[in-house]
């Protein structure tokens, strides 16, 4: 029986890795061995940063809401507590979008939160 060599299969595998390494610098884009290492490391970074991106966006939304809430004489934490007391269930992403694009709408939400905080203080006293 004749010996079977894996030429076409190996070539296709190499081509797939080299294609994934397109745009890399130096030998990382053309040399198979270094390209394999670079593509594998890029995959690790991508996996890690898909999770990190969620944390970063949450922090950004909180900063935006905090800045908008401070314009209405509240901190982020008192604002969110007021929202909870008022029964307003908006997530951070939509609140930050409202804060950026609809100042009047955010002012109305902030007023409701402030009123709910005031009622809670009166009830406690």
**How many Cβ atoms sit within 10 Å of the Cβ of residue 98?**
20
Helix (H) or strand (E) run with residue 93 in it: helix 92-101
Whether residue 30 lies inside any domain: the answer is: yes
pLDDT in the model for residue 122: 86
Give me the number of domains the chain comprises: 2
pTM above 0.85, yes or no: no
Residue 23 near residue 29, CB atoms below 8 Å? yes
Is 80 exceeded by the pLDDT of residue 125? no
Q: Tell me: the pLDDT tens digits for 10-31?
A: 999 999 999 999 999 999 999 9
Residues 45 and 58 in one domain: no
As a whole-number percent, the residues of the chain with pLDDT over 90 amount to: 89
Q: Tell me: the pLDDT tens digits for 67-88?
A: 999 999 999 999 999 999 999 9
CATH number at residue 68: 1.10.1900.20
Whether residue 3 lies inside any domain: the answer is: no
Domain that holds residue 16: 8-49
pLDDT band at 90 (very low <50, low <70, confident <90, very high): very high
């Amino acid at each position: 029986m004749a010996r079977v060599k894996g030429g076409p299969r190996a070539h296709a595998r190499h081509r797939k890795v080299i294609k994934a390494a397109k745009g890399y610098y130096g030998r990382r884009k053309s040399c198979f061995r270094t390209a394999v290492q670079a593509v594998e490391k890029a995959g690790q970074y991508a996996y890690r940063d898909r999770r990190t991106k969620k944390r970063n966006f949450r922090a950004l939304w909180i900063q935006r809401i905090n800045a908008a809430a401070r314009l209405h004489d509240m901190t982020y934490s008192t604002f969110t507590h007021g929202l909870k007391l008022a029964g307003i269930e908006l997530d951070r992403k939509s609140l930050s979008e409202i804060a950026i694009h609809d100042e009047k709408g955010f002012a109305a939400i902030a007023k409701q939160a402030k009123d709910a905080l005031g009622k809670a203080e009166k009830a406690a006293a």
